[in-house]
Amino acid sequence: MESTPASGRPLPRHERWIVAYAQWIVRWRWWVLLLSLLCLVALGAGARLLTFSTDYRVYFGPHNPQLLAFDEIQNVYSKNDNILLMFEPRDGDVFSPRVLEAVREFTERAWQLPFVLRVDSITNFQHTQAAGDDLAVEALLPDDAGITPERIAHIREVALAEPVLIGRLISDSGHVTAVNITSQFPPFDELTQKELPEAVAATRALRDDILDEYPEIARISMTGSNMMSNAFTEAAAGDMKSLVPAMYLMIVVITWLMLRSGSATFATFVVIILAAASAMGLAGYVGIQLTPPSAASPQIITTLAVADSIHICVTLIALMRAGRAKTDALVESMRLNFVPVLLTSITTSIGFLAVNLTDSPPLKDLANISAMGVMLAWFYSVFTLPAMLAILPLSVRRTGDSRSGALTRFLDGAGEFVVRRRTPVFWSALLISAGLTVLAFRNEGNDLFAHYFGPSITFRADSDRIAENLTGLYSMEFSLRCGDAECVSDPEYLRVLEDFTAWWREQPEVLYVGTLTDIFKKLNKSMNGDDPAFYRLPEQSDLSAQYLLLYELSLPFGLDLNNTINIDKSSSRYIVIFEHLKSKHTRAIEASARQWLETNAPEMATHGTSPAVMFAHISKRNLESNFLSLPLSLTCISLLLLPALRSWRIGAVSVVPNLLPLGAAFGVWALISGEVNFTMAIVLNMTVGIIVDNTIHFLSKYLRARRELGYAPEAAVRHSFHSVGAALVVTTLILVSGFMILSMSAFLPNSGMARLTAIGIVAALLIDLLLLPTLLLKVDRAPANAPKKELSDEALATP
C-alpha cells in the first residue's frame, strides 16, 4: 500500500494520519458498520419527538414588532382566529327559503364545534329597529321564526343595505353569503398539534353534512387564519410523503448511471439515509417543531449528502480502473478526498448557520437541521462509506488509465479548450456573470402570503374563490385610542373615525371597512324612529353613550362588542379587508394609513397589523438580514480556506467564483420573476456554502498538481478538469435534480427557494469550469525556469 504520493515525496503528517485512519477503517470494517448502526439507532430515535406546528405565528420571532402589535390587539379585544365559510347557492340567490335555512342550521350547529368563541352570519346578525321609545335588537332570522316571503323580503332589504355585512358576510348582489367562526385556542405556549386540526376537521364535517342535507347549496368554500395555519401543516406533510421518495429514487438512478456500480450506489444510498435520519432525530431531541420550510430539510440533506460520497467513489473507481487494487485505491481515495470533503462540509454548514441571523424561526430550523445533516453526512462518508466499500464487491474494468468514461474525455477536451482560449473564455465568463449580477438588484421582496400554496392545496383555491365573490383574506387592523375610559362615544373621536373610514373607502384595493361608526349611525337611526335622515353620527356624547349602553344590554351571549371595543371603552378595533395585497403594497399602504393618522389625529397614530402585515415585513426583513450576514459567512469561509489552501493569492482568487454565482443566480431570477418571497432570501447564505464546495475540490486538485506533481499552471488546470471535473458535474446534476424535485413542493416559497438554489448551483459549476481556471492562469504564474509538464500516463492514473 502506498505511503507516498505519485511524485514520490513523503506524505505530510496529516495525510499520514488519514492513511492510517483509512487502513484502520478497512481493517475493522464490520465493527465500523456496527457502530454506524448504533449511531443511527441512538440519534434517529429522537425523530419520534418531532411535531408539526399548527400556528402561522411560528414564522415570526418572539421580538418581531408586527407580531407583538398583533398579539396586543388580540389580547385587548377578542381573538381573531377564524374560519370563514362561503355558501354558493345553485341558483345564485341567497334569499331563498332553503338557502337561508341551511345558513341558519349551520350557524346554530357551529356553536357546538370545538374551540368556538363566536359565530356570525346574516341569520344571527343583530338588527336594530325602533320600538316606540325603546330599541329592539333581534336576529334577522331567529331560531324559531318561519321563513316566509315577507321575512325573506325583510332580510334582503336589511342585509343588502347594511355596511357591517356587505363585503364581509354577504355580497352586494346577494349571490353568496358567509358564516364566520371565531375560535379561542389555548395560549400559544400551551398549544399542541391537536387543537387546530380538530377544529378544522369538525368544521369540514359539518360543512359536508350541510351539503348533503341541502342540495340547493352548490359549494361551501373555506378560508381564514385557521385554514391558513392548517394548510401549512398539510403542505408540509404532503411534501414529505411525495417528494422524499421521489428524491431518493432520483439519487439512486443518477448515482448508478454515473458510477456504473451497484455496490457504490448502494453504499452512497445508505450514507444519505443515515445522515437524513440522524439529523431529523437530533432535531427531535433539541425540540424543533416542523413547519413547511423546516420539513424540506430531509430533501436538502439527502441532496447534499450525496456529494461527499460521490467524490470518494469517483476517485476510487478511477484508481481501480487505472490498475490499483481495491483496498489500495480506497485508502488513496480517502487520502485525496478527506480534507476537501471536510472543508466543503464545514463551509456548507457555515452558510446554513448564517441563516440564524434572520428573523423567521422556521428558516432558522431549516438551516440548523440542514447544517447538522451536512456534518453527519461527512461523518458517515468518511466512517461508514469506506467500511461498506471494503466489504461490498466492486467490479471495475481495468483500462490502465482513468479516462475511459465519456464524461471524463469530454472534460479533458473542455480543459484543453479553456487553456488554449483562456482570454476570450475569461472575459466572456466575467462579463456575463457581472452583467447578471447587476440585474440581481432589480429583485424585490414582494409576495402574496395566501399564494404560498400551490393550486393542489384546497385553501389556495377556496381563498381565491372567496376573494373573487365576497371578501379577502388580507386585512389590516388598528387599535385606535381616544384617551380616557368611556371615550369611544365622544363625537370628536367618532368624527375622526368617520374621516379615516372615508379615506380608506377611497382606496381601490379595499373590499370592506369594519368601524365603530357604522354601529353608532345605525343606532342613531333606530332611536329616531328608523328615519333614514338620522343615519349619521350622534352629535351629543351623552346620547351616544346611552345608545351604546342600551345596545350592549340587548345583545345575546356570544355576540357582544368585545371584538370591537376594549373593556374600559378607551379604544376601538378598526379593520380593513382587501382582495389581494402584495407585501410591497401592504407595507406602502400601512405607512400611508399611519401618515394619515399622524396628520389628522396624531394622538391616535399607530401601526396597522395583521398576518398580512407581518408576512409583508418578514419577507423584506429576511432579505435585508441575509444581505448583512452574507459578508460574515464569506469571512468565516475565507478564514477557513486560506490556511487550508496555504496560499493567500489562491485564497483571494477563490472569493470570485464563490460570489459571482450568487449574483448571477439572482440576476437570472430577476429576468424570470423579479420578486423574492420570505424563504428565498436565505438562498444567499444557504447557497454560498454549497457553491464553495466545487471551488474547494477544483482548487485542491489544482494545488496538488502544482505542489506534488510539479505541474505548470496550464497542466495543473488540465489535471483538475481530468481528476475532479466528472465528480463536479455528477454532484451538480444530483444537486440540481434534487432541488428541482423540491421545486415541485405544494408550498411555493420552498419551490421558489429550490429553483433559485438550482440556478445558483448551475452558475457555480459554469463559473468554476470557465472563469476559475482562466483566473488561475492569470494570477498563478510559473517560474521562468519551471518545467511545463503535461499530463503523463502516470498522472492520468492518479486523480
- The pLDDT tens digits for 764-789 are 999 999 999 999 999 887 654 455 55
Question: Minimum mean pLDDT among 77-91, 217-231, 302-316: which range?
Answer: 302-316
How far apart are the C-alpha atoms of 244 and 299, rounded to whole Å? 6
Mean of pLDDT values over 611-636: 84
Residue 446 has pLDDT above 80, yes or no: no
- pLDDT, one tens digit per residue, over 500-540 is 999 999 999 999 999 999 999 999 998 888 889 999 999 89
How far apart are the C-alpha atoms of 202 and 125, rounded to whole Å? 23
Grid-cell match 431529523, residue found: 280
CA atoms within a 13 Å half-sphere pointing along the CA-CB vector of 21:
15
Residue 294 within any structural domain of the chain: yes
Residue 105 within any structural domain of the chain: yes
Please tell me whether residues 316 and 442 are part of one structural domain.
yes
Task: Give the three-state DSSP class for 553.
Answer: helix
Residue 242 within any structural domain of the chain: no
How far apart are the C-alpha atoms of 481 and 520, rounded to whole Å? 17
Please tell me whether residues 414 and 313 are part of one structural domain.
yes
Decide if 264 contacts 317 (C-beta within 8 A): yes
- pLDDT, one tens digit per residue, over 255-290 is 888 888 889 999 999 999 999 999 999 999 999 988
Decide if 331 contacts 23 (C-beta within 8 A): yes
Residue (of 448, 474, 62, 453) closest to 292 by Cα position: 453
Quickly state the pLDDT bin for 707 (edges 50, 70, 90): confident
Last residue within a domain, chosen from 557, 581, 605 = 581
Residue 249 within any structural domain of the chain: no
How far apart are the C-alpha atoms of 84 and 120, rounded to whole Å? 9
Please tell me whether residues 124 and 204 are part of one structural domain.
yes
Higher pLDDT, 632 or 327: 327
Quickly state the pLDDT bin for 643 (edges 50, 70, 90): confident
pLDDT at 398: 67
How far apart are the C-alpha atoms of 263 and 607, rounded to whole Å? 62
Residue 43 has pLDDT above 80, yes or no: yes
- pLDDT, one tens digit per residue, over 404-423 is 568 888 999 999 999 999 99
Decide if 392 contacts 410 (C-beta within 8 A): no
pLDDT at 278: 96
Residue 49 has pLDDT above 50, yes or no: yes
How would you classify the pairing of strands 217-223 and 82-89? antiparallel
Question: Minimum mean pLDDT among 23-37, 161-175, 482-496, 635-649: which range?
Answer: 635-649
Please tell me whether residues 377 and 467 are part of one structural domain.
no
Please tell me whether residues 431 and 459 are part of one structural domain.
no
Range of the domain at 696: 13-56+260-447+615-796
Quickly state the pLDDT bin for 359 (edges 50, 70, 90): confident
Please tell me whether residues 347 and 459 are part of one structural domain.
no
Number of domains in the chain: 2
Please tell me whether residues 85 and 45 are part of one structural domain.
no
How far apart are the C-alpha atoms of 170 and 179, rounded to whole Å? 9
Please tell me whether residues 491 and 559 are part of one structural domain.
yes
Residues in CB range of 418: below 8 A, 6 or more apart: 425, 717, 721, 769, 770, 773, 774
How many helices (H) and strands (E) in the chain? 25, 13
Quickly state the pLDDT bin for 5 (edges 50, 70, 90): low
Grid-cell match 349611525, residue found: 521
Backbone angles phi, psi at 476, to 5 degrees: -145, 130
Mean of pLDDT values over 301-322: 88
Please tell me whether residues 315 and 419 are part of one structural domain.
yes
pLDDT at 795: 47
Mean of pLDDT values over 172-181: 96
Q: Which CATH number is 412's domain given?
A: 1.20.1640.10
Angle between helix axes 326-353 and 297-321 (nearest 10 degrees) is: 150
Task: Give the three-state DSSP class for 385.
Answer: helix
How far apart are the C-alpha atoms of 405 and 796, rounded to whole Å? 13
pLDDT at 6: 52
Residues in CB range of 361: below 8 A, 6 or more apart: 58, 59, 60, 61
Instruction: Extract the C-alpha cell encoding 672.
Output: 424570470
pLDDT at 276: 94
Please tell me whether residues 182 and 84 are part of one structural domain.
yes
How far apart are the C-alpha atoms of 619 and 625, rounded to whole Å? 10
Residue 467 within any structural domain of the chain: yes
Please tell me whether residues 113 and 204 are part of one structural domain.
yes
Task: Give the three-state DSSP class for 668.
Answer: helix
How far apart are the C-alpha atoms of 594 and 601, rounded to whole Å? 10
Fill in the DSSP letter of residue 747: B
Host H or E run for residue 130? strand 126-131
How far apart are the C-alpha atoms of 251 and 263, rounded to whole Å? 14
Residue 319 within any structural domain of the chain: yes
**How high is the mean pLDDT of the chain?**
88
How far apart are the C-alpha atoms of 569 and 492, rounded to whole Å? 15
Residue 318 has pLDDT above 60, yes or no: yes
Instruction: Extract the C-alpha cell encoding 334.
Output: 480517502
Question: Minimum mean pLDDT among 86-90, 227-231, 684-688: which range?
Answer: 684-688
Task: Give the three-state DSSP class for 7.
Answer: coil
- pLDDT, one tens digit per residue, over 477-505 is 999 999 888 899 999 999 999 999 999 99
Please tell me whether residues 393 and 481 are part of one structural domain.
no
Q: What percent of the chain has pLDDT over 90?
A: 53
How far apart are the C-alpha atoms of 128 and 596, rounded to whole Å? 33
Residue 429 has pLDDT above 50, yes or no: yes
Instruction: Extract the C-alpha cell encoding 319.
Output: 484508481
Mean of pLDDT values over 706-722: 89
Alpha helix positions (H), 392-475:
406-420, 422-439, 458-469
What are the distances in angstroms from CA 385 to CA 26, 32, 304, 647?
10, 10, 15, 31
Residue 307 has pLDDT above 50, yes or no: yes
pLDDT at 632: 84
Decide if 319 contacts 797 (C-beta within 8 A): yes
Last residue within a domain, chosen from 556, 581, 606 = 581
pLDDT at 52: 83
Quickly state the pLDDT bin for 136 (edges 50, 70, 90): confident
pLDDT at 782: 62
What are the distances in angstroms from CA 469 to CA 86, 98, 160, 478?
9, 21, 15, 25
How far apart are the C-alpha atoms of 272 and 413, rounded to whole Å? 33
pLDDT at 248: 86
Quickly state the pLDDT bin for 391 (edges 50, 70, 90): very high
Residue 210 within any structural domain of the chain: yes
Decide if 297 contacts 369 (C-beta within 8 A): yes
- What residue type is 452 in one-letter code? Y
Decide if 195 contacts 159 (C-beta within 8 A): no
How far apart are the C-alpha atoms of 786 and 540, rounded to whole Å? 99
CB atoms within 10 A of CB 185: 20
pLDDT at 3: 47
Residue 254 within any structural domain of the chain: no
Q: How far apart are the first and last CA of the chain?
A: 17
Quickly state the pLDDT bin for 326 (edges 50, 70, 90): very high
- What residue type is 446 in one-letter code? N
Mean of pLDDT values over 714-728: 90
